[in-house]
Amino acid sequence: MGASLLVRCENLVISKFFSPPDSQADLLNHLCTVPLKEYRKHRQLLESAETTRRFMYCLHRDAEGTLQRLVVSYANLTNPPKTPLCTI
């Protein structure tokens, strides 16, 4: 329940439905009012926002490997690689 609650809380930070809860019970009740479509939309926005940060992290930690995967992905534009550019 804790991890699930944390994921839902991340959504509330950027959601227009956010209002500070007084207790965990209030928070859970508030989470139930967030429409699933709205939740999924914000999760996709968070995921796309993280892509750049993850790429820069990988570039910093493993520049050679990250650049090699980038070159391979551009060389095979018709067949995208099965491994992601960043493997963190």
Q: Is the pLDDT of residue 37 over 60?
A: yes
Q: What is the pTM of this model?
A: 0.48
Q: Which residues contact 66 (CB under 8 A, 6 or more apart)?
A: 55, 58, 59, 85, 86
**pLDDT, position 16:** 46
Top-confidence residue, 88 or 12: 88
Closest CA to 43 of 1, 6, 7: 7
